[in-house]
């Protein structure tokens, strides 16, 4: 049986039972494929081990060959442990998980990079002053919206007009589809409301002059040129951030997830609760949210106890 056939059920399990996204599933499968290649290239007594024959010894030998980066080690460890869990508890073809007693090294505490508020102002000002006239409003409102919502780039690109709920004539809330197709509702901050309201007003004026093949339901669209009216892509958003980050002279550059980190850091600075940030960001665990709060294990456990 080929590895593809072996992992097909695993892929379905991750998608259906655990709600994992396509990128996460692809990363799991790549890690499993690499381990399978390692096993085939390091046979015992001339014969490659089957999955049922793998012991903690082989796993440890493999992990010792990996990039020593704790983040990479953690990911591979998680991929293989989940794979053997599937073989044992779901497929029922394995007795015991060879990673059960193999511990991950503790990750070093680190805080995500973030822009200062002065840098945010410089970024938006640069977009206002250096954009082409036809793209000026779209560019600065997009940046302001992202840095005041903390949405992932894929979530922003996927937003549709019916994602917005209004209150007193202003955008009030957005429905977001996040990782693993999980839905959440995000109440907009005043700055996000202002940016989105200004863009939506301009977008409505664009709709009267758009060709029929455009993405009329998309919120963020290309305002001019060959692709006028088409939904903006993840890659295009990244390019916008990179372009104006460089023009603003921001050392290290600007990318969409940096704006997400910036919003998370600012919420933490304003003493917004761990639970609230977790819900806004769509995090699966409090440990992820804790990077913004600089929380230690005791704080995370205390927060989890009242959820």
What's the pLDDT tens digit per position in 270-295? 888 878 888 889 887 777 777 776 54
- Look at residue 302 and tell me whether its pLDDT is greater than 50: no
User: Residue 177 and residue 155: Cα distance in Å, rounded?
Assistant: 6
What pLDDT was estimated at residue 110? 62
Q: Phi-psi category of 11—alpha, beta or left, where left has phi over 0 and alpha has psi -120 to 50?
A: alpha
pLDDT per residue over 135-168, tens digit each? 999 999 999 999 999 999 999 999 999 999 999 9
Contact in structure between 205 and 223 (CB atoms under 8 Å): no
CB half-sphere exposure, 65, CA atoms < 13 A? 11
CA distance 79 to 63: 12
Spell out a b/e string for 12-35, using b for 16 or more CB atoms within 10 Å of the CB, else e: ebbbeeeebbeebbebbbebbeeb
Enter the pTM of the model.
0.62
Q: Tokens at residue 75, please?
A: 């990911």
Q: What is the pLDDT averaged over residues 71-95?
A: 88
Q: Which two tokens stand for residue 268?
A: 């933490």
Identify the sign of the CA torsion 44, 46, 48, 49.
negative
Residue 188: its pLDDT value, please? Answer: 95
State the Cα–Cα distance between residues 230 and 138, nearest whole angstrom.
13
**Per-residue confidence band for 260, with pLDDT thresholds at 50, 70 and 90:** very high
Q: Looking at residue 294, what is its pLDDT?
A: 54
What's the pLDDT tens digit per position in 3-56?
A: 767 789 999 999 998 888 888 899 999 999 999 999 999 888 888 899 999 999
Dist. CA 132–CA 134, nearest whole Å: 6
213 pLDDT exceeds 70?
A: no
């Amino acid at each position: 049986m080929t590895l593809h056939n072996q992992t097909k059920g695993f892929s379905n399990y991750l998608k259906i039972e655990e709600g994992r996204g396509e990128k996460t599933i692809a990363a799991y499968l790549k890690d499993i494929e690499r381990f399978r290649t390692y096993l085939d290239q390091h046979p015992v007594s001339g014969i490659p081990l089957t999955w049922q024959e793998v012991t903690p010894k082989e796993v440890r030998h493999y992990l010792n060959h990996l990039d020593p980066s704790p983040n990479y080690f953690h990911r591979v460890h998680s991929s293989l442990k989940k794979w053997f869990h599937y073989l044992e508890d779901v497929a029922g073809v394995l007795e015991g998980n060879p990673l059960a007693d193999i511990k991950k090294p503790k990750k070093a505490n680190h805080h995500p990079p973030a822009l200062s508020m002065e840098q945010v102002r410089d970024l938006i000002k640069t977009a206002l002053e250096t954009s082409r006239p036809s793209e000026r409003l779209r560019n600065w409102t997009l940046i302001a919206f992202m840095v005041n919502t903390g949405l992932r780039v894929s979530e922003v690109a996927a937003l549709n007009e019916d994602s917005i709920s209004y209150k007193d004539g202003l955008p009030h809330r957005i429905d977001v589809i996040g990782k693993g197709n999980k839905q959440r509702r995000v109440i907009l901050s005043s700055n996000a409301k202002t940016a989105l309201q200004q863009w939506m007003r301009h977008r409505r004026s664009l709709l009267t002059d758009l060709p029929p093949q455009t993405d009329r339901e998309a919120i963020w669209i290309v305002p001019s040129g060959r692709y006028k009216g088409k939904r903006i892509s993840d890659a295009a958003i990244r390019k916008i951030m990179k372009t104006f980050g460089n023009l603003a002279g921001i050392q290290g550059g600007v990318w969409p997830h940096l704006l997400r980190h910036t919003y998370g850091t600012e919420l933490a600075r304003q003493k917004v609760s761990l639970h609230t940030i977790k819900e806004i960001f769509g995090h699966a665990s409090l440990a992820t949210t804790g990077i913004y709060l600089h929380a230690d294990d005791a704080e995370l456990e205390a927060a989890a106890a009242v959820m």
